[in-house]
Amino acid sequence: MAIVKPEMKSYIWLETADGSIQEVEEEVAMFCPVICRELLQNGKGSSKNCAILLPERVNPANLELILEFCRFHQVPGRSNKERKKHDEKFVRLDTKTLCDLASAADSLQLRPVVDLTSRALARVIEGKTPEEIRETFHLPDDLTEEEKLEPLRNMTDDPRIRLLNRLYARKRKELYDRKKLKNVDVEEEPRVDERSVDDLLSFINGGDQDSKAARVTKNKKKSRGRKEQARNSSSNNEPGNNNKESNCLTSGCLNGDTSDGSSPSRNSELQNSPSAMFSSKLDLDDFDIDDELDPARKEEIDREVEDFARRLDSVWPERIQQILSLGQENRRLTPISMNGNGSMKRCTAGVDRG
């Protein structure tokens, strides 16, 4: 039993994890379910020797706050408005104290304080960018750039995320173009490969010389056209230092095209459409970016884009090695499905049909 001092409130003793012991009015402390239980069921807290041992996460500082809360609310006569006002003032604390208090209240099962602090912390988090949240709560920024870009995040509308995604797409486009450039260079040597199976057969069978020649020149023209186009688009890109991407998966598609010219016009259309789509897409993207952000922000983002590009470049060669080792075994791998690149898929389909 608690010692009842005549005509005065009764007090009980609480001990925090660090060993300090406090005396508290019983009615105030009883507001906490855990303390209440210890007092009533286990009969503790009546004297300094058998003080109620509080859970580990309660330290004297947050215990004081909690007791202040209990002291206010255990008085029956207050109106709801008064209580709300008090609560709003009560949670005007810095973030560290809020987290601390939430943790202590949770261990004491004091639901009202847990709700209050959670709501305050939710208000802190809401509307902030990830960087700001990391700073406020001292969270380590330990995800790799790639992890950050995984589809998990495509659900958000954050302009920075869209920007990063666009950058990723731009990078992929760059690689693709460089592939094409490389392959066009390679193509010029074994020109005989461009002829279709029919052509070869007719040649073997001693077919029409003229038509054969005509076909060959047609193919030559086409390849030149392609080369020019590739050169045009690549001139837009920043000079990269990744010449190793000679055999990116996209090459499978290209090589397939060139070795099978049975429906040349269709293939060339398909061939041209991806790059056309890419460049138009890229134009759109550039347009979008400029439109949405004001100059100061744009500069900032440009800087970050550079930074990101550099970081990506450093990771890229390793990934390419991996892909290369897969790519060489099977040239005709279906390309990775890319964002909005139905065109890539159409390309492969065309090849398969041919």
In the complex, the residues that contact other proteins under the rule CB under 8 A are 94-96, 99, 102-103, 106, 114-115, 117-119, 121-122, 125-127, 130, 133-134, 136-143, 147-148, 151-153, 155-158
How would you class 342 by CB atoms within 10 Å of its CB: exposed for 0-12, middle for 13-18, buried for 19 or more? exposed
Q: How far is the CB of 118 from other proteins (least distance, A)?
A: 4
In 3-state terms the chain splits into helix, strand, coil percentages (rounded to 5) of: 70, 5, 30
* Helices 209-236/197-204 angle, 10° precision: 150
Q: How far is the CB of 286 from other proteins (least distance, A)?
A: 19
Amino acid residing at 302: D
Nearer to other proteins, 134 or 244 (CB): 134
Nearer to other proteins, 74 or 136 (CB): 136
Q: How far is the CB of 11 from other proteins (least distance, A)?
A: 30
Which DSSP symbol is given to 114?
H
Within the chain, strands assigned E span 11-15, 21-25, 52-53
Ramachandran angles phi, psi of 53, nearest 5° = -85, 120
Nearer to other proteins, 121 or 175 (CB): 121
Q: How far is the CB of 69 from other proteins (least distance, A)?
A: 16
Nearer to other proteins, 124 or 333 (CB): 124
Ramachandran angles phi, psi of 8, nearest 5° = -130, 165
Q: How far is the CB of 145 from other proteins (least distance, A)?
A: 11
Q: How far is the CB of 157 from other proteins (least distance, A)?
A: 5
Query: Cβ distance 31 to 73 under 8 Å?
Result: yes
Nearer to other proteins, 225 or 340 (CB): 340
Query: Cβ distance 251 to 179 under 8 Å?
Result: yes
Nearer to other proteins, 162 or 212 (CB): 162
Amino acid residing at 148: K
Q: How far is the CB of 149 from other proteins (least distance, A)?
A: 9
* Token output for 229: 């186009």
Nearer to other proteins, 155 or 296 (CB): 155
Query: For residue 29, how far is the Cα from the chain centroid?
Result: 46
* 21-25 and 11-15 strand pairing: antiparallel
Residue 288, SS3 per DSSP: helix
Query: Cβ distance 9 to 23 under 8 Å?
Result: no
